[in-house]
Amino acid sequence: MDAESEEGFREFAGARFAALRTLAYVTCGDWQAAEDAVSGALSRLYLRWDRVAAPEAYARKAVIRAARRAERGGDRRGARVSPGTSKRHSRPRYGHAAR
Domain ranges, ordered by start, for the chain = 3-74
What are the phi and psi torsion angles at 85 (to 5°)?
Answer: -120, 155
State the number of CA atoms in the 13 A half-sphere of 87 facing the CB.
Answer: 5
- Give the pLDDT of residue 85: 46
Q: In sequence order, what are the residues at sequence separation of 6 or more whose Cβ sits closer than 8 angstroms to the Cβ of residue 34?
A: 21, 22, 24, 25, 27, 28, 67, 70
Residues 49-96 pLDDT 10s: 999 999 999 999 999 999 999 888 755 444 444 455 444 444 444 555
User: What Rg do the C-alpha atoms of the chain give, in angstroms?
Assistant: 18
**How many Cβ atoms are within 10 Å of 25's Cβ, its own excluded?**
18
